[in-house]
Amino acid sequence: MKILIVEDETKIGDYLKQGLSEAGFVTDLARNGLDGHHFAMTEPYDLIILDVMLPDVDGWRILQSLREAGRTVPVLFLTARDSVEDRVKGLELGADDYLVKPFAFAELLARVRTLLRRGATIATETTLKVADLELDLMRRRVIRNGQRITLTAKEFALLELLMRRQGEVLPRSLIASQVWDMNFDSDTNVIDVAIRRVRAKIDDDFDTRLIHTVRGMGYMLDVSDEN
């Protein structure tokens, strides 16, 4: 599940990104309205958390553009002003829910999960499937050949990324930024270790290996003939 956060207040943005990634979500953080608008209109997200008060392009404009373009992605807006007009305006523009700042992270997480569940009943893709490996995004379950496999939140996010981009070689730097929110120069050993752990869980006991190391380039998940 991929979530876009549009929030210009550094502390809140970082807090949301960290909390959501610890909860196992892949997140993008836009720190201004212009970037937020661009990401929202060009990248596919399962949910957008949108701050209303942004210095350049405000949250209302972003929401309006999304809905005018026919994009149905659930939007949770954050407002500092606890005014009825604001809430009404947001909901009229097509937001799905709102939270008034300051809010407890647990409450945000509960709202996020509800919106994702609601969105998933409309969207088709709640399960990713490659060969006999299934990832149930809503129930956060992994099943291979009928066997239930337990993954940590990070391992789940890593496997989700690999499965969403089946057949693509993913460089360590991309995996680092998408799953760990680390930059290019960070210690990529973390990724190798995590890949090894995921492999041990989803590949080792099965005939067909799905996660492949592409020397000098990165990792790829696919059903390949060499097995």
Q: Measured from the CB atom, is 9 or 97 closer to Ca ion?
A: 9
Q: What phi and psi, each to the nearest 5 degrees, are found at residue 57?
A: -90, 120
In whole angstroms, the minimum distance from the beta carbon of 52 to Ca ion comes to: 7
In whole angstroms, the minimum distance from the beta carbon of 81 to Ca ion comes to: 11
Is residue 35 involved in binding Ca ion (CB under 5 A)?
Answer: no
| Residue from the set 53, 100, 131, 190 that interacts with Ca ion by CB under 5 A | 53
| Residue from the set 1, 3, 6, 8 that interacts with Ca ion by CB under 5 A | 8
Q: Measured from the CB atom, is 8 or 222 closer to Ca ion?
A: 8
Q: Measured from the CB atom, is 76 or 151 closer to Ca ion?
A: 76
Residue 110 has which token pair?
């509960």
Count of residues engaged in binding Ca ion, rule: CB under 5 A: 3
Q: Measured from the CB atom, is 64 or 147 closer to Ca ion?
A: 64
> Which residues in 123-162 contact Ca ion (CB under 5 A)?
none
| Residue from the set 35, 51, 155, 160 that interacts with Ca ion by CB under 5 A | 51
Chain residues in the site for Ca ion (CB under 5 A): 8, 51, 53
